[in-house]
Structure 1
């Protein structure tokens, strides 16, 4: 069985009507009078001056939506008609009109697959004496579940409501024929309807449509072309971009030119559980800098967004989800203004905590550094100085130790034999691991043996894969000269002595970076990476700028 339901407010020219009709279900085709075609109920009621509400396709949800729209305008109406066509099922004292999408309904599920006739009658009672409920029955499905039987059950018709029932085709013919005739009472309508049954309020004194009654004068405004009206309805649905809006379009134009697009849009909406949250975040129109700020805050709170580039990819979305879950928000991965504020407040507090922790570790490291200096390098001997530098290459006294070792080396040069000194000069000029090893082979106990071993250790570290990886990470940041100057200024503010603030990272700058990383328990490399830059610049409220 195929039914079309018109779930829409009909466009009727002129002022608001005083009559209202609800159509749920298209009547079956009759014989003779309609040449085998079903009557156009909506056109008939509109022609008689009714505001028409109905729905298509005849899903249970759309039937309920149509009933709700009908109810919202019932108060103050002059006349009501409720036209029901389709399969009815009953259980005990209640009856339901089934929807097209009803599947094996049972007593336990029928409330969700149709409309209760008792509810419809109760709504019709809002306009007593001028409410007609037309019930046209058709064959019920064969797969009825437990507790249900086909057909109508006993009706408890409210006072003032007229019920006329029969087969679907007969009710359809009655609706567009006798019911539209003027000067006939409710009693005359019921008595003259062959094959139909009337009950409830059937009065000879109530004229359903008084003679000479005309519909309101049409508006002088030009009537819009049907195609233009449909396009306007569709564009309105697209602007709203909601499931309800697309269903509204389909209700009016189930076979319209945009019907497939509407159904596709509905499917996409249903497939995206957090669509409303996504649209709400898009409405915030976050700038690239605002997005970077959010990523910095996520980094400070250790949610690991995998980058501070202002682009919300999978890494950032995952970090946002983790933040939302921890803070009791729906894990949509999309932010609201409230959540952004909460994130910023937490990051600000965490930054202060991290800085306090870093300062505590710095002071502890300084105490240990000074104590170690007292028992090693403070005496000024070469062995003690080298032991100190091995443990604290970036220590408080590292520059002093290097200067004293330079003096010692110069003294050794003066004292060393000419051949030893010449071999050492060759090794220093080449400045490679191989050149220093060659020197040690020739002079294992030479004047510069300790310095040669220290240089071998230094060059080995510099050539290690870890160092190369650290250099590559810094290069990948693409930091311009201006940002490098900001880094040096920040290091200087923290008392880490980076040297000249010229944007050129020399050995002194690298040492300051290592000190910063050490105090904040970051990976100590002397090179910048996302974590180091985020901590350094975000803590100072400085914006990260890349080339």
Structure 2
């Protein structure tokens, strides 16, 4: 059943009637394709309460394309110079890009081109509401999940809300309750109602204490106090120098004049304020911020951590990057700069990948050359020389076996076990125990060198602990080591002996300090591709 209500018979026929408050309520519950948006009709039914409160209402239930257009025309004609306008839409919505459409019951959206005829773009109601700045409200109740294909997505997209317009979103029951119990009640604050109702969310211009109706039903326009409060609320929403100057021009001695001047002074004293606000408007998530820090680190700009917090280290890195790009040096990012930074980091990741593979091949070449030069494992002296230079090299396992065979199986086995224990523990006591047992063993020189590096190893271990790597990131590191041919053992997110050996081999090939532990620089280089996926 379709109903068009409160048409103001005489006035609407001529299009001349004007009203103080106007509401357009569209509730589409039963769609022609069988889709049901439960309780959507309640939004239109709430027009009874608004009507009784003196609001001029256009309402429509289960409207097709023609009905929706007619209802919108009637509401536009009635609004004219009205003091306030409310538009409530309940039913199915689809969106693509920056536009969202409200669907009539006979809509059959299959392609983006269909929306030229099938839907009401929300930019039209928002444009109407923009003519009633300060007392303009759009209430949206999306329902249904089907009926969109290709580029069209079901539900609401991002809305470009004009200044001075409020938007409230919630299920039909909650929206009807808002219309009936708040908007139809004089002096009832719709911002407070949104704050008190978990089913509703609000954005845009929703100043505390603002209401659709005032207690003085006969007032033709807001009082001076109301107008001043509205002007201040608008200035606060803009939160810029022009907004506060506009308030002061109109109310130089107003109750908020001193605060307006204080904020003007603060704005003038803050460098790069516009850039800060622009970055804040991007609403970057913690994961996106970590991705930005990772990109900066990958490009050689030290953010002093990849934690999703833009502190002094990140701001300094951003300023250095901006200076190198011949951009305004502000320490704040806009969308274009984020895209540029991401593109540069992607290129650098590809370069690093090529460098890592080339380094790996060069290390193998040198390893093989030394293996041949020392006799390819045919003498005790040659085997020891090979193992001393490449204790974890390509031929290390073979060299150890042959050395054991040549020097005595039992002695070799005990020495190999002692060295394995020393490597597993990796502390000073373990290396001393090895030297006590085998002072002339094939790994004696390496054990002594390890003792010299003990303090550095402790610092490296602590640096890795400080990274707070979770099992997912550890598995990603193992996967990368495996892909590069460093044989980290089982990929399970646990850094065992095989993993430490693979890390040392990676560090050696990369020309970095060989510790067997990860630091921020190694993580950024090693996970040039994997970390990007993890942080998104």
TM range (shorter): 0.5 to 0.7
Q: Paired residue for 1:487? A: 477
| Pairwise CA distance, 1:227 | 2.3
| Pairwise CA distance, 1:449 | 2.5
| 1:377/1:387 contact within 8 Å kept | no
2:320 equivalent to 1:329: no
2:316 equivalent to 1:318: yes
Alignment of 1:138-153 (within 5 A): none
Q: Out of 324-333 and 507-516, give the one that drifted further.
A: 507-516
| 1:354/1:520 contact within 8 Å kept | no
| Pairwise CA distance, 1:301 | 0.7
2:270 equivalent to 1:272: yes
Q: Distance in 1 between matches of 2:510 and 2:403?
A: 30
After superposition, the C-alpha distances for 1:76-100 in whole angstroms (9 at most, x for unaligned) are: xxxxxxxxxxxxxxxxxxxxxxxxx
| Pairwise CA distance, 1:338 | 0.8
| 1:477/1:529 contact within 8 Å kept | yes
| Pairwise CA distance, 1:404 | 2.7
User: Which residue, 244, 247, 258 being the options, matches 2:245?
Assistant: 247
Query: Cα gap change, 1:520/1:433 in structure 2, threshold over 3 Å: closer, same or farther?
Result: closer
After superposition, the C-alpha distances for 1:305-327 in whole angstroms (9 at most, x for unaligned) are: 12111111111111111111111
Q: Paired residue for 2:289? A: 291
Alignment of 1:321-400 (within 5 A): 321-376=319-374, 378-400=376-398
Alignment of 1:130-209 (within 5 A): none
Q: Paired residue for 1:75? A: none
Q: Paired residue for 1:499? A: 489
| 1:324/1:330 contact within 8 Å kept | yes
TM-score, length-scaled by structure 1: 0.52
Query: Cα gap change, 1:412/1:449 in structure 2, threshold over 3 Å: closer, same or farther?
Result: farther
| Pairwise CA distance, 1:433 | 4.8
Q: CA RMSD in A?
A: 3.3
Q: Paired residue for 1:260? A: 258
Q: Paired residue for 1:517? A: 507
| Pairwise CA distance, 1:247 | 1.3
Query: Cα gap change, 1:516/1:262 in structure 2, threshold over 3 Å: closer, same or farther?
Result: same
| 2:404/2:413 contact within 8 Å kept | no
Unaligned runs of 5+ in 2: 1-17, 19-217
Equivalenced residue count is 313
Q: Distance in 2 between matches of 1:286 and 1:331?
A: 20
Alignment of 1:44-193 (within 5 A): none
| Pairwise CA distance, 1:537 | 2.2
Q: Paired residue for 2:228? A: 230
Q: Paired residue for 2:26? A: none
| Pairwise CA distance, 1:244 | 1.3
User: Which residue, 430, 441, 447 being the options, matches 1:450?
Assistant: 441
| 1:436/1:456 contact within 8 Å kept | yes
| Pairwise CA distance, 1:384 | 1.8
| 1:485/1:501 contact within 8 Å kept | yes
Larger-gyration structure (1/2): 1
2:458 equivalent to 1:460: no
| 1:439/1:452 contact within 8 Å kept | no
Query: Cα gap change, 1:526/1:455 in structure 2, threshold over 3 Å: closer, same or farther?
Result: closer
Residue aligned with 2:309, SS: coil
Query: Cα gap change, 1:326/1:280 in structure 2, threshold over 3 Å: closer, same or farther?
Result: same
Unaligned runs of 5+ in 1: 1-13, 15-219, 441-447
| Pairwise CA distance, 1:239 | 0.5
| 2:388/2:442 contact within 8 Å kept | no
| Pairwise CA distance, 1:541 | 5.3
After superposition, the C-alpha distances for 1:375-423 in whole angstroms (9 at most, x for unaligned) are: 125133332222222222232112222333344454363999xxx9xx9
User: Which residue, 274, 279, 282 being the options, matches 1:281?
Assistant: 279
TM-score, length-scaled by structure 2: 0.53
| 2:303/2:313 contact within 8 Å kept | yes
